[in-house]
Amino acid sequence: MLKNILSILLVIGLITGCRKDFEYARGPIANSIVGKWAFTEYFMSPGDAGNWYKAKPRGRVIHFKADGSFSATREGFKQFTKYELLNTGKIRLSAADSGNTMLLVFSIDTNNAWLFTYPGESICIEGCSDKYRLVK
């Protein structure tokens, strides 16, 4: 009986310990890109009004540090190690090894702790945007 109880407690502990849920910041927040942002949703409009869809897989983040360094667990961003604010609403990510860069346009909803990014070098014919939530 004791073995069964311990086994159940172990399974519950493993399940809850391995979750990728974050504790999100609540607004209002500073109007700053600096911080860890969890990818939560993306917008697509295939010729209609468009919809927001839940990000899959969950738990992917991008992290802008105050010293200009950058890290990410999200595909498509992992190669980048630095960022530079070009002007209000534009940021350039760069990869030290390859010299690759990516330009993003962004806006911050300070009341709700959201970061929205849009491609800065290509045009989304069908509309596109990514939505991130600031992690505490």
44: Cα separation from own chain's centroid: 17
Is residue 3, in this structure, part of any structural domain at all? no
pLDDT grade, residue 20 (50/70/90)? Answer: low
pLDDT grade, residue 7 (50/70/90)? Answer: low
For residue 128, is it left (φ>0), alpha (ψ between -120 and 50) or beta?
Answer: beta
The enclosing H or E element of 13 equals helix 2-17
In the chain, the percentage of residues whose pLDDT exceeds 70 is: 85
Is residue 62, in this structure, part of any structural domain at all? yes
Is residue 9, in this structure, part of any structural domain at all? no
Query: Which tens digits make up the pLDDT trace of 48-65?
Result: 778 999 998 888 999 999
Is residue 5, in this structure, part of any structural domain at all? no
Is residue 98, in this structure, part of any structural domain at all? yes
For 102, the domain range is 23-134
Q: How many domains does the chain have?
A: 1
Is residue 14, in this structure, part of any structural domain at all? no
CATH number at residue 106: 2.40.128.280
Is residue 2, in this structure, part of any structural domain at all? no
pLDDT grade, residue 13 (50/70/90)? Answer: very low
